[in-house]
Amino acid sequence: MTWILMMISDLVIPVILLVFGRLFTKKSPGKINKIYGYRTKRSMANDKTWEFAHKYSGRIMLALGLGLLAVSWLPLVFVFGKEDSVVGLTGVLVMIPQVLSISFVIIFTERALQKNFDEEGNRIMEDRHGKL
């Protein structure tokens, strides 16, 4: 029973990333709000930054969710039938990098916002050579 619970627990984060990644790449959560969505000062500057942040973070969430889904179950396969303490420890050790990987969504999305928008949320225009 512990093994099944750990397997389900270890798949929650990848599935959540996949669900929200899919939602955000298709459509940002309507109007800018303080309850639901990718909410940072930069992303909430205006409708363009809001839309950009959701599409961008959604793509990262999809990639992370797929990657984590592919590897998160594997360690638990090796401890099937072992003592509950071994299964529990393995499950927790799988969750740690999952939780830490969520920070990649924030780091990369904020960098992309900073590269594409100024502090007021206006689009930064680049010429054909990538220079201002």
| Alpha carbon distances (Å) from 49 to 31, 78, 126 | 12, 44, 17
Q: At what angle do helices 47-72 and 2-26 cross, to 10 degrees?
A: 150
3-state helix, strand, coil in the chain (%, to 5): 65, 0, 30
Mean pLDDT of 68-92: 93
Reported as a pLDDT band with limits 50, 70 and 90, residue 129 is low
Task: Give the pLDDT confidence score for residue 55 in this predicted structure.
Answer: 97
For the record, the structure tokens of 55 come out as 């599409």
Mean pLDDT of 86-94: 94
Residue type, 85: S
DSSP letter at 80?
Answer: T
CA distance 39 to 42: 8
Task: Give the pLDDT confidence score for residue 1 in this predicted structure.
Answer: 83
